[in-house]
Structure 1
Amino acid sequence: MCRLFGFRSSVPSAVHPSLVTEKNSLLIQSREHKDGWGIAAYGAEALPLVAHGVGPAHSDPDFERVSSRVSSHTVVAHIRLASVGAVELRNSHPFQHGRWTFVHNGTVREFAKHSADIEALICPTLRAGIQGTTDSERCFYVFLTRLAARHPIAHPVPVEGVARALAETMSLVSAITDEPQVQPRSAMNFLVTDGEVMVASRRNRTLFVSTGGARCTTGALPEVGTRLEQLIVSSESLCGGPYWTPVGEEDVIGVDAGLVFHRWSVPELAGDFQPPTPGPTRHAA
């Protein structure tokens, strides 16, 4: 199990408080989630800048050094508590493919038993990019496969296309790993971005949203179609304040490139999805 953080803003902003100085910052949470960390920040360059560490964030000076320097309109961060895969850099989140970065909080149920079936869902061209041994990285490449089935993934993708690919990933993986009336289910809190679109899902773990202001003080998520100044997504509220709102179980939320808020349910996005038949998946990188 891990903790994830996503930040999307209309203007470049510092994330040092969320990562280091808030009452429940990722640095504080890393006393329990101690098996590595990663931060991805999007700037003027074509690709995000990604930094990883293999030790606890709270005792790694590089975590605070990187955090203090990040000022960006899009940031993804992660602290890891290893459940699948050794504690090593290649297994640290965020995982990256081109402009896409991906983090996961949760565990795929009985991954060792089901890993071959999950890998079979991945386009062979994409499968060659897998570097580590985690369930999380394989879920990322299933997502990329589903996304590439409809969109050239080296180009901007509509937010609904990203959400649909994420929901299809959840449905495909859970169909392999989960059994009726058997607990626990696969936990799949995912967060993915290309620096413009940002989408997150909740399944069997907590997930919270803040808009960085007073909009969420009523305990309600923003209205669909609301243009935000900021969207912050986190596994836990970072300071205990009233403006953190829980995301519903089996919900997918996100913002498009214009920071317009969207919300779906996984059944809504993937309810009529039919698993692909064996054969090549269209991949445009």
Structure 2
Amino acid sequence: MCRWAAYLGQDVFLEDIVTAPCHSLIAQSHHALEAKSPTNGDGFGVAWYGERPEPGLYRDILPAWSDPNLKSLCRQIRSGLFLAHVRASTGGATSRANCHPFVSGRWAFMHNGQIGGFEKIRRGLENAVGDALYDERQGSTDSELFFLLMLEEGLANDPYGATLRATQRVIAASQRAGIDPALRLTAAFTDGGTLYGVRYATDAFAPTLYTAEFCGSAGRCLVSEPLDREGASWQAVPPGSFVAMTRDGVTIRSFAPEAGKLALAG
């Protein structure tokens, strides 16, 4: 499973999240404490927002701990909203196109988890994505396809509903294929204004998610595991939750997809 961290607030250097903390994202790339695999060395990526509505993006297939360019960029770039991710592949080749975050227009998305039985339901899920969005697909991961499903389901106007409907599509596709739904979904995504997160699984093992004020209360973090064990007051987000974070505060609401109540075509 992957590790990731997102930040929203006053402008800070990316290194304050990615490299500087004692259990920074780079530290987690080779020694995660709350992941199925402690090593997350199948690539990394960062997406950050600045003067333009669409995010900047830097991804590579090197382990995060061995890329001096990443450390240099994080030391120089300041942003009030960014996503950072280190990958442990659960499917899909180790390639730049398969590294998170994924971007579309002003949106950026990253994920920790997987769609169980993906190869058996992949074609049906791809058919649910219209041509315009499907043409944006660069890689082969279940994560990128889930992001495209969210966009197809109206992410721009209804982030909660789009995430719910995309999740229901995956569950329904598994049921049609005659396999038990096995979706684990802990994701962060943003339109450059609000930072959203979701923690959900069809079983009892939803990947972890935490939130806390950070950088001297300059902003807030949403992370897959704490960046330190002291200082920040990390709060675990319960399974079955949807998070909406703004510069004014955080709201958490229940997230409970029920595929049987939604009629989905194909």
Common fold, TM-score beyond 0.5? yes
TM-fit CA distance, 1:178: 6.7
SS for the counterpart of 1:202 is: strand
Identity %: 26
Q: How does 1:1-285 map to 2 (within 5 A)?
A: 1-9=1-9, 11-31=10-30, 32-147=39-154, 153=156, 157=157, 161-177=158-174, 185-203=182-200, 204-212=206-214, 230-241=219-230, 243-256=233-246, 259-267=248-256, 274-277=262-265
Could you say if the C-alpha distance between residues 259 and 168 of structure 1 is closer, same or farther in structure 2, counting changes exceeding 3 Å? farther
In 1, Cα distance between equivalents of 2:207 and 2:175: 16
In 2, Cα distance between equivalents of 1:270 and 1:195: 29
TM-fit CA distance, 1:100: 0.4
TM-score, length of structure 1 as denominator length: 0.80
1:108–1:177 Cα contact (<8 Å) kept: no
In 2, Cα distance between equivalents of 1:25 and 1:184: 33
Deviations 1:218-245 (A, max 9, x none): xxxxxxxxxx962210000110136111
In 2, Cα distance between equivalents of 1:59 and 1:105: 22
In 2, Cα distance between equivalents of 1:63 and 1:178: 42
TM-score, length of structure 2 as denominator length: 0.86
In 2, Cα distance between equivalents of 1:275 and 1:8: 36
In 1, Cα distance between equivalents of 2:224 and 2:55: 22
Give the total of aligned pairs: 250
In 2, Cα distance between equivalents of 1:112 and 1:271: 20
CA RMSD for the aligned pairs? 2.4
Structure richer in strand, relative to its length: 2
1:230–1:259 Cα contact (<8 Å) kept: no
Gaps of 5+ in 1: 215-227, 279-285
In 2, Cα distance between equivalents of 1:7 and 1:270: 30
Q: Amino acid of the residue matched to residue 187 of structure 1? A: R
Could you say if the C-alpha distance between residues 205 and 168 of structure 1 is closer, same or farther in structure 2, counting changes exceeding 3 Å? same
Gaps of 5+ in 2: 31-38, 201-205
Q: Amino acid of the residue matched to residue 208 of structure 2? A: T
TM-fit CA distance, 1:277: 4.1
